[in-house]
Amino acid sequence: MKLRELVRLIESAVPLEWALPDDPVGLQIGDPEREVRRVFTALEASTEIVRKAVRQKADLLLVHHPLIFFPLRKLLENHPVQRLARELVRQDMALYAAHTNMDLHPEGMAKVWAERLDCEQAHPLVSKPQSGRLKLITLVPPDFTDRVRRALSDAGAGVIGEYEQCSFSLRGTGTFWGSERAHPFIGRAGALERAEEDRLEMILPKEKKHTVITALFAAHPYEEPAYDLYPLEDFCDISQAVWVAEFRRKLTWSAFVEKVKKSLPRPPEFGGVRPDAKRKVGRIALSTGSGSSVLSIVKKLGVDAFLTGEMGYHYLWEANEDRLNTVTVGHGVSESIFPETIVPLLKRFTNEITWIMS
């Protein structure tokens, strides 16, 4: 498989537009025309990881943390970023980063972490981005609105999160003038006609466009149904990286800490606030990586504990003052589940690649 083809598949699974502003996600090093057969996945590029990837004869290094955050003006051996970039080029190994677009992913690392903690329920605080959506708008005679809505729903339109058959309709008046060859469903040809109509709006995945429009023409009574399709942009915000999870029963503080230890593939670097150890833990907030930017959001949730990778000193002081039991395990440790999170997503798209997880 060509690298450019694999990049297209990766970006189908983890869209670039889900990344927060100024996050340099995507292909950072490599020849798009190069053949790729083996992909090494890791949290980030480092001298040790690049050596491992070379030993595994990998063609692509797929990482969470981008190597190149700022434009490189030089490529010197005595600078860590530039040295690694030089080494990747020397080894003819491509580098791809999926960073905040993976943090905001509906099946991202916070969800996997909640599963590893054996939580009974887990859900994102805010609706996650959804890739490749369109909005369909069509005009329907009121007596046929329900029929058309059902047909479009059956074809895959009208799904928003956990809800189906979602739509909006508004009554209005449409006009038309049919030619002598027309056979209008309402009125007659050769005259300006006015008809009461419902403006029906529904959202659909881009890949179901053909199926939905085919269903529209099959269910609509008009000879020439009018419709518009608009591409939708997703809202991306750091609050989408926060998940709320619940245990089957409330845990003692020590039992909660033990679950955290067992949930991670690397030993945690425990830190955080001085906890109120008498408080039992049933409902928690999770956010991998740095939790500093979401502390103000988490404080309003009324959770028993906040589990994250790292937080700055003053943010921890604030959490302590607000009696928010906060546990940090280390930025890299909290995201060490990146390989086991992204590889299953990508395996759905291709079986031509050998995936190697660090």
Whichever domain contains 158, its CATH number is 3.30.70.120
Distance, in Å, from the CA atom of 13 to the CA atom of 191, rounded to the nearest integer, reads: 51
Distance, in Å, from the CA atom of 332 to the CA atom of 47, rounded to the nearest integer, reads: 16
Neighbours of 257 (CB within 10 A): 18
- Kindly state whether residue 156 falls inside one of the protein's structural domains: yes
**What percent of the chain is modeled with pLDDT above 70?**
100
One domain for residues 304 and 320:
yes
Q: Which of 209, 231, 253 is a domain's end point?
A: 231
Helical spans, DSSP H, in 220-324: 253-262, 295-298, 313-321
One domain for residues 118 and 156:
no
Q: What is the pLDDT of residues 266-277, one digit of tens each?
A: 889 999 999 998
Q: What's the pLDDT band for 325 if we cut at 50, 70, 90?
A: very high
One domain for residues 267 and 346:
no
Q: Which of 231, 247, 274 is a domain's end point?
A: 231
Q: Check whether 345 has a pLDDT greater than 90.
A: yes
- For the segment 21-34, the average pLDDT, to the nearest whole number, is 96
Average confidence score pLDDT of the chain? 94
Q: Check whether 131 has a pLDDT greater than 80.
A: no
One domain for residues 76 and 40:
yes
Distance of CA 107 to the CA centre of its chain: 7
- For the segment 52-60, the average pLDDT, to the nearest whole number, is 97
One domain for residues 298 and 312:
yes
One domain for residues 268 and 321:
yes
- Kindly state whether residue 158 falls inside one of the protein's structural domains: yes
- C-beta separation of 254 from 284 below 8 A: no
Distance, in Å, from the CA atom of 329 to the CA atom of 344, rounded to the nearest integer, reads: 24
Q: What is the pLDDT of residues 311-323, one digit of tens each?
A: 999 999 999 999 9
Neighbours of 268 (CB within 10 A): 19
Specify the number of domains making up the chain: 3
The first and second tokens of residue 327, run together, are 């546990």
Task: Find the range with the poorest average confidence among 82-86, 165-169, 266-270.
Answer: 266-270
- Kindly state whether residue 104 falls inside one of the protein's structural domains: no
Neighbours of 11 (CB within 10 A): 19
**What's 94's domain CATH number?**
3.40.1390.30
- Kindly state whether residue 64 falls inside one of the protein's structural domains: yes
205 residue type, one letter: P
Which domain, by its residues, includes 220? 133-231
- What residue has token string 């890791």? 42
Distance, in Å, from the CA atom of 173 to the CA atom of 353, rounded to the nearest integer, reads: 55
- For the segment 214-223, the average pLDDT, to the nearest whole number, is 95
One domain for residues 199 and 272:
no
One domain for residues 183 and 255:
no
pLDDT of residue 333: 96
One domain for residues 38 and 91:
yes
- Parallel, antiparallel, or unpaired for β 326-328 and 305-310? parallel
One domain for residues 274 and 328:
yes
Sheet holding 60-65, edge to edge: 26-29, 94-97, 60-65, 38-44, 354-357
- For the segment 280-292, the average pLDDT, to the nearest whole number, is 97
Q: Which residues pair with 262 in a beta bridge?
A: none
pLDDT of residue 53: 98
pTM for this model (two decimals): 0.81
Q: Which of 231, 249, 266 is a domain's end point?
A: 231
273 residue type, one letter: V
- Kindly state whether residue 296 falls inside one of the protein's structural domains: yes
Q: What's the pLDDT band for 89 if we cut at 50, 70, 90?
A: very high
One domain for residues 224 and 202:
yes
Q: Which residues pair with 205 in a beta bridge?
A: 133
- C-beta separation of 94 from 60 below 8 A: yes
Go through the chain and tell me how many residues it has: 358
One domain for residues 227 and 137:
yes
